[in-house]
Amino acid sequence: MRHTAHGYWLEEAGPVTAAPPLAGERSADVVVIGGGYTGLWTAWQLRERGASVIVLEADVCGHGPSGRNGGFCETLWSNMPSLLERFGHERALALCEASTESVAAIGAWCEAQGVDAWFTRAGFLMASTAPAHDGVLDWILAVAPRDRVKALDGAALRARCDSPRFRRGILVPDDATVQPARLALGLRERLRDVIHERSRVLGLHHAPGEVVAETAGGRVRAGAAVLAVNAATRGIRPLRHRLSVTSSHIVLTEPVPDVLDAIRWTGGESITDARTFIHYFRTTRDGRIVFGWGGGRLAAGARLGGRIEVDAGVVDEIGRHLIAMFPALEGRAITHAWGGPIDVSPSHLPQIGTLDGAPVHYAFGFTGNGVGPSHLAGRILAALATGEPSDVGIDHEPVRVPPEPIAWAGGTLVRRAFLRKERLEEAGRPVDPLTRAVAAAPRALGIHVAR
Ligand SMILES: Cc1cc2nc3c(=O)[nH]c(=O)nc-3n(C[C@H](O)[C@H](O)[C@H](O)COP(=O)(O)OP(=O)(O)OC[C@H]3O[C@@H](n4cnc5c(N)ncnc54)[C@H](O)[C@@H]3O)c2cc1C
């Protein structure tokens, strides 16, 4: 098995040569900091609006989480309950509709630009794997329109993918999958002339109507800046209390088309269970299973840069979860494993907005769900950076995470409680009152640990 920092998708997409770093003084209408999907979609939308843009990327664009995620290109329909709670019915519905447009727009963009990112609109399934998790499906079904989220009974669910763990499910037909690295590198290639790589922004200064972004090799003067640095937002003082950083890890099987046939999983659907620390899984073009787990540890400061190495213990644990989900994979090889940071916002919803008194706009907090929503964030950020008011998706009263070390210590306790609670629930055993109380504690602070 290959444990890699960057994962299988970037390997499959093929090698790239880094763009030249920033050297000397430059100017543009907007400087975009960070070259993952959020930064690149923003740059794309800005160019479409006729604005000049420079993208500064610390490493190589698309080599962070954007090039190594699960490739679930999701709408926000399964987040409808949290959106309703946060924004009210009208805005929640508008956001979900906009997220559907974004998924469709990503597919249309790939087609128009000749980017073969394996865009497949086969829908998303959420499967309950314990009686205690059925309520998550019911919660979504109670508020989402029926043409956007459909209920599946056990037989209908298992006709699409047969796992002995599955009880019943929901289907979100608008959702798609992509080969994430091909999408990120396709965007990078089409914006190549405005990108500087190996150009970490070390300082961002602002005066009325102007920002200056500094790297080791130069400076960019611009009318506005867009911060699209994902988990590294935790290092930015005015925003650091608006997110915590955890990690997610993925294992990839050898090609197993025979198993996919046997379990009838040939339709290309992406799937998660309904746990808090979800398992997420999908297939590839050559018949492999990508199987990820969002149960990663909370990251301490040193891991904020994005390189979360895979440790063998996590891989073994995910391998066991994979076999429990699909026993027919017993004895089949896992060929690759990798992981990356997750920027968790307390509401589990992306945070998009503008810093007080500065032309600096930001988006972060995708909470492991940024592939589709980053396109929508790019649209909003491009509007903000060119001076258009935008209210879509902006959380005017964001929830904050407690200061360190309380956040880390509390988060670690809560994580353990959730893991224990879900293990007991799936085993059909009662959950003790202490575990239940610790798992419920964040809600009292307005913090969502689940969607
Ligand atoms: C293992 C894993 C699986 C996931 N699976 C899914 C999934 O299936 N579906 C889904 O929707 N989401 C998934 N996600 C989340 C998804 O990958 C992210 O939400 C999305 O990629 C965020 O894009 P971004 O552009 O905001 O961040 P990133 O891709 O992290 O890009 C940020 C960029 O900023 C750069 N940067 C940081 N600091 C600086 C600086 N000072 N100067 C310049 N550049 C800087 C970084 O190098 C990086 O390239 C997953 C994440 C992981 C880790």
Distance CA(306)–CA(138), nearest Å, equals 35
Long-range Cβ contact pairs of 387-392 (< 8 A, separation 24 or more)? 391/91, 392/91, 392/94, 392/95, 392/98
At 131, the amino acid letter reads P
Model confidence at 313, pLDDT cuts 50, 70, 90, reads confident
Nearest CA to ligand 1 atom 8: 70
The pLDDT value given to residue 305 = 46
Percent of the chain at pLDDT > 90 equals 72
Classify residue 174 as left (phi > 0), alpha (psi -120 to 50) or beta.
alpha
**Mean pLDDT, to the nearest integer, of 249-274?**
97
Could you tell me the distance, in angstroms and rounded to a whole number, from the CA of residue 214 to the centre of ligand 1? 22
Residue 308: per-residue pLDDT: 55
369-425: per-residue pLDDT in tens? Answer: 999 999 999 999 999 999 987 656 556 666 677 666 566 666 667 677 777 777 788
State the distance from the centre of ligand 1 to the C-alpha of 432, rounded, in angstroms. 37
Average model confidence (pLDDT) for the chain? Answer: 90
Confidence class of residue 432 from pLDDT cuts 50, 70 and 90? confident
Q: pLDDT tens digits for 211-234?
A: 999 999 999 999 999 999 999 999
Q: Which of 10, 69, 366 to mutate to test the pocket of ligand 1 (most atoms within 8 A of CB)?
A: 69
Confirm if 148 and 172 have CB atoms less than 8 A apart: yes
Joined together, the tokens standing for residue 354 give 């503008």
Residues sharing a CB contact under 8 Å with residue 411, sequence separation 6 or more, in sequence order: 244, 246, 298
- Asked whether the predicted pLDDT for residue 239 surpasses 60, the reply is yes
Q: Measuring from atom 37 of ligand 1, which residue has the nearest CA?
A: 229
The backbone region for 283, taken as left when phi is positive above 0, alpha when psi lies in -120 to 50, beta otherwise, is beta
Tokens representing 23?
């050297």
User: Which of 229, 277, 344 most suits a substitution to test ligand 1, by most atoms within 8 Å of the C-beta?
Assistant: 229
CA distance 446 to 328: 41
Residue nearest (by alpha carbon) to ligand 1 atom 33 = 34
List the structure tokens of 334.
Answer: 């896992």
Looking at ligand 1, which residue's alpha carbon is closest to its atom 25? 36
Residues 108-114: what's their mean pLDDT?
98
Q: What is the pLDDT of residues 114-170, one digit of tens each?
A: 999 999 999 999 999 999 999 999 999 999 999 999 999 999 999 999 999 999 999
* pLDDT tens by residue, 351-373: 999 999 899 999 999 999 999 99
Asked if the model's pLDDT at residue 301 lies above 50, the reply is no
Bond preceding residue 442 cis, omega within 30 of 0: no
Average pLDDT in the 322-333 region?
Answer: 97
**Radius of gyration in angstroms for the set of CA atoms belonging to the chain, rounded to a whole number:** 21
Share of the chain above pLDDT 70, in %: 87
Phi, psi of 173, rounded to the nearest 5 degrees: -65, -25
- pLDDT at 90 > cutoff 80: yes
Chain segment 372-385, per-residue pLDDT in tens: 999 999 999 999 99
* pLDDT at res. 431: 81
Give the span between the Cα atoms of 181 and 184, in whole angstroms. 5
**Cβ 222 vs Cβ 27: under 8 Å:** yes
Q: How confident is the model at residue 347 (pLDDT cuts 50, 70, 90)?
A: confident
In angstroms, rounded to a whole number, what is the distance separating the alpha carbons of residues 164 and 143? 28
Average confidence (pLDDT) over 93-107: 95
3-class SS shares of the chain: helix, strand, coil, % to 5:
40, 20, 40
Pocket of ligand 1 (CB under 6 A): 33-39, 56-59, 64-66, 69-72, 74, 200-201, 228-230, 232, 248, 250, 280, 292, 306, 339-342, 366, 368-372, 374
**Total number of residues shown for the chain:** 451
